Structure 1
Amino acid sequence: MNLHLQDKVILISGGAKGIGGAISKGLIEEGAIPVIIDPSEKEGKELVELAVGKALHLPWRLFSAEDCEKAVLEAVRAFGRIDGVVNNAGANDGVGLEKGSPEAFAQSIANNLHHYYSLVHFALPELKKSQGAIVNISSKTAVTGQGGTSGYVAAKGAQLALTREWSVELLPYHIRVNAILPAEVYTPMYESWIQTFPNPEEKLAEINHQIPLGKRMTTPEEIASMAIFLLSNRASHITGQHLYVDGGYTHLDRAL
């Protein structure tokens, strides 16, 4: 299936590793031009080399609105257009209700949410021209809870709300907005978390056993496939949706 993404310019926050890296690689394979906003220099360089120069790596974190504006300006300066935005960067930082503080909670939300808004805000004039698409990477924790991570979950829930809000606001411009909710995805960050347990292999087997479809985790490439489809005009009448790519983890009986 031709997704008609040739030479489409897509901004991806956290686009060098894990889910974001898989999305960048998949876009390169489709002939698109990823703008990879991620401080991971080695991985970013490798992706640009894979794209034979038809990619841009911006090696910084989106700590401020100014960082987001600079990323948009660099993308437009390099390629003259923006056709899509993938909001992906963030971290489950463990700022909970008991083990946390109002200050840490506010900072967690800022780190995981504010750049989602700012990147789209500054990219919007270009998205209006291209009638582009926005994909927000959220998390199943926004609907199930997890415990001990209030800031991250509040941000993820807000991302789902913004997906619906933006899909309404941007209807006149034919800009589609959708969200993907991963559950258990074995990324480098996830592996680091697994290694904190006394018996990592046992913990990993326990989690895998709870995933209904195939008793395995979702791969980053499977999340990427959905994101790339949603960015393409093959998804031309899909907007305002929350899509679960999780092997049935969120909704099916895990006793299955």
Structure 2
Amino acid sequence: MDLKIKNKVCIITGGAKGIGYSIAKLWAMEGGIPVVFSRSMPKEHDEELKNLCKSYEFYEIDLKNYEQIEELIKKVVTKHGGIYALVNNAGANDNLHIENTSTKDLIKSYENNLFHYYAMAKECLPYIKKEQGSILNIVSKTGITGQGRTSAYASAKAAQIGFTREWACAFAKDSVRVNAIAPAEVMTPLYEKWLQNFPNPKEQYEKIAKTIPLGHRFTTIEEIANTAVFTLSPLASHTTGQILMPDGGYVHLDRALNWDEI
């Protein structure tokens, strides 16, 4: 299937590892030009993206530095002539609970997980509008369901969902599509690190996997990337304002059922 993204520029924040890297890699494999904004880039990932796309670029960035965001967006446009798509992805669950988190810590969490989604979209939008392109926000099921003991992250993710719907409304007249993907249980480097907080990480992993209706397994980063790249592409030309959940039925299906007997 031709996704019609050949030579189209897509900026991916947090594209050095996990879901972001998987999206960048697939974008390159489909003929697009991935531009990664991240604090660092593993050498092997950098080399693989270079092999897949000669025009690929990596920019080291502090996404809390909004002047740097503005500067680097201009560099991308100067080099490539425009921007077709943006994937807001960078961030991490910091497990900040309301009972032991100050307002200052909450704001700091929003700086790490929320404000740069707004800043990146604001700077990219003039160019995305010219190409009638697409924005994809990587959110989380936590922003829909809550999780308990993670007020900062859950509320940031809920706000990202709000951004998604608001921007989809605001820029429909410009033929710009804005969607979100809400991963649930996906084995990323950050998730693996989180599992290490449990006395028996393997046991905890298996406990969670059993609650996922489709296949009793975690969603893969490749499955998230497949959904992301298709949704960003012109083939999803009438899809906007959607919160997509490739999660094996984890959120919306009744996990109390015995799925092995149905």
Q: TM-score, normalised by structure 2?
A: 0.95
CA drift at 1:107: 1.2
Check the 8 A contact 1:178/1:242 in 2, yes or no.
Answer: yes
| Map of 1:152 onto structure 2 | 153
Q: 1:37 to 1:230 in 2, by over 3 A?
A: same
Offset at 1:52?
4.2
Hey, what's the Cα distance between the residues in 2 that align with 1:228 and 1:77? 24
Partner Cα distance (1:167, 1:31) in 2 = 26
User: Is contact 2:25–2:49 with CA below 8 Å preserved after alignment?
Assistant: no
Q: Deviations over 1:145-183 (max 9, x none)?
A: 111111111110011111110011101110000011100
Structure 2 counterpart of 1:229: 230
TM score, norm. by length of structure 1: 0.97
Question: 1:3 and 2:3 equivalent?
Answer: yes
CA distance in 1, matches of 2:68, 2:49: 21
Partner of 1:27: 27
How far, CA to CA, are the matches of 2:244 and 2:182 in structure 1?
Answer: 6
Partner of 2:134 in structure 1?
133
Question: Displacement, 1:38?
Answer: 1.1
CA contact (8 A) 1:16 1:47 kept: no
Letter paired with 1:70: E
Indicate the residue corresponding to 1:122 in structure 2: 123
Aligned match of 2:179? 178
- Give 4+ residue runs of structure 1 displaced > 6 Å after superposition: none
Structure 2: runs of 5+ lacking an equivalent: none
- Superposition deviation, residue 95 in structure 1: 1.3
Q: Secondary structure at the match of 2:123?
A: helix
Contact kept in structure 1, 2:8 and 2:83, CA below 8 Å: yes
| Map 1:195-206 → 2, pairs under 5 A | 195-206=196-207
Deviations 1:111-138 (A, max 9, x none): 1111111111111111111011000000
In 1: Cα distance, 2:64 partner to 2:11 partner: 16
Q: Is the 8 A contact 1:4 1:232 kept in 2?
A: yes
Deviations, residues 9-68 of structure 1 (Å, cap 9, x unaligned):
001000110000000000010010001011222255234323342201012231122132
CA distance in 1, matches of 2:225, 2:94: 23
CA contact (8 A) 2:28 2:53 kept: no
Matched ranges for 1:44-59 at <5 A: 44-59=45-60
Q: Aligned partners of 1:102 and 1:39: how far apart in 2? A: 26
> Which AA in structure 1 matches 2:22?
A
Identity of aligned residues (%): 48
Partner of 2:255: 254
How large is the Cα RMSD of the aligned pairs? Answer: 1.2
Aligned pairs for 1:107-118 (under 5 A) are 107-118=108-119
Aligned residues: 256
- State how far apart, in whole Å, the 2-side matches of 1:178 and 1:163 are: 6
